[in-house]
Amino acid sequence: MEARRDRLSNRVKWTVLIALIIAVMGLVFGAAEIAIRVRQTLKYGSAATVEDLYTIDRRIGLRVPIANLHSGHIQTNSLGFRGPEIAVPKPAGTARIAFLGASTTWCGEVSSNEKVWPHLVAAQLRHAYPKAAIDYINAGVPGYTVESSIANLRHRVAPLQPDVIVIYHATNDLSGELRDLAVAKGVIRDSKVQTPLWPSNYSLLWNLAEKNVRVWLAQKKAEANIGRLDVEPRSLGDDFRRELTALVRAAQQQAKVVAVATFSTQLRTGQTADQQLQASASGLYYMPFMTPAGLLVSYKRYNEIIAEVARSTGAVLVGGEDAIPGDRAHFTDTVHFTDAGSQAMADRVSKALLSTPDVTTLLVPQR
């Protein structure tokens, strides 16, 4: 009996200890989750996830921002575009600029709507022509490819009668092409980006930890050249060229001036190997089979194609992608801008537009 009581007593002690450990771990996890959400709210004004900002427009088959959204630093107008309200129909004498792109045009990482580079471009044009009536449409949506922007232009932007259209695309199309190529060469099994585990749907802490682990593993594979996709740059971009040309041609049917901008990244040739690895972090998250060197030549190839499309279509080319410094002061990750990066992007776009006679002609009568 005494031995049995001792066994029961030990079992109770272990049960209590395990329960206590689980409770402490739960408290620690809960405290960390709260801290992450507070940090997210302080940094972005909201702890909402990206998916909380969008809805599916079944009529046109696109994911679009929720209209009249107020989520921290992000506000959309009644038409579902990030930015201030615009008059419909367009008032006579108003020069309207539309910006087509993805998350690097939407700019969810900057501190306010007023720091998004399309807003800054419009502000700089107003400063140059203070008597001109100028408004803008930020039609960038995270995750969009050039093909998405063609539909976005047709259904959501064209009816608003833009006079100038600026196109900024590359990274999502490049990621899709490289993932398809990696599948074709047997480097990965599925071209779709790996879906986060289910706890990521409910916990920001888990979501961030999972992303950081995947980035770390991708960086280690890149360092060790494990599971690497070897890329011949000249073979890239055929679909991108065709679709970007189609987008430019469609935009030219709607606007007097169409401009295409080469794509800026934090990743640069003059960086050390460690700097390149850090600058490649988010790129490697979506393309874990790549190396910084492979990403460098791939982005360069896409920028060559952007310039070729501008020449072949007569679109205005916004060059100078490396005028934005490739550092953490200007980029939050491989491709997304900080406030300073957004300002530098606006500077190069504004410079190109203000050097274009067809743009200044739109503004001179109101000067």
Residue 85 banded pLDDT, cuts 50, 70, 90:
very high
- What average pLDDT does the segment 194-201 reach? 60
- What average pLDDT does the segment 330-354 reach? 98
Same domain, 214 and 335: yes
- What average pLDDT does the segment 266-282 reach? 95
- What average pLDDT does the segment 255-261 reach? 98
Supply the pLDDT for residue 367.
43
Same domain, 75 and 39: no
Same domain, 30 and 55: no
Closest by CA position to 137, among listed 46, 251, 264, 307: 251
C-alpha–C-alpha distance, residues 213 and 270, integer Å: 27
Range of the domain at 24: 1-44
Same domain, 76 and 93: yes
DSSP characters for 27-82? HHHHHHHHHHHHHHHHHHS----GGGGEEEETTTTEEEEPTT-EETTEEB-TTS-B
Same domain, 84 and 7: no
- What average pLDDT does the segment 29-41 reach? 55
Supply the pLDDT for residue 320.
96
Least confident interval from 191-195, 213-217, 260-264, 360-364:
213-217
Digit-coded pLDDT (tens) for 98-116:
999 999 999 999 999 999 9
Digit-coded pLDDT (tens) for 115-130:
999 999 999 999 999 9
Supply the pLDDT for residue 2.
56
Single-letter amino acid code for the residue at 103? S
Supply the pLDDT for residue 189.
84
Cis peptide before 118 (omega within 30 of 0): no
Burial of 38 (0-12, 13-18, 19+ CB in 10 A): exposed
Give the CATH number of the domain where residue 334 resides.
Answer: 3.40.50.1110
Supply the pLDDT for residue 72.
85
Same domain, 267 and 286: yes
- What average pLDDT does the segment 47-64 reach? 81
Torsion over CA: 290, 333, 310, 143 (sign):
positive
Judge whether residue 176 has pLDDT over 50.
yes
Torsion over CA: 80, 86, 91, 94 (sign):
negative
Same domain, 12 and 74: no
Number of C-alpha atoms within 13 angstroms, CB side, residue 208? 12
Same domain, 37 and 177: no
**Average predicted confidence (pLDDT) for the chain:** 87
Residue 254 banded pLDDT, cuts 50, 70, 90:
very high
Same domain, 13 and 90: no
Residue 188 banded pLDDT, cuts 50, 70, 90:
confident
Element (H, E) at 350: helix 339-354
Supply the pLDDT for residue 366.
47
Give me the number of domains the chain comprises: 2
Global confidence as pTM: 0.86
Same domain, 232 and 338: yes
Supply the pLDDT for residue 50.
59
Same domain, 236 and 142: yes
Supply the pLDDT for residue 351.
98
Same domain, 196 and 300: yes
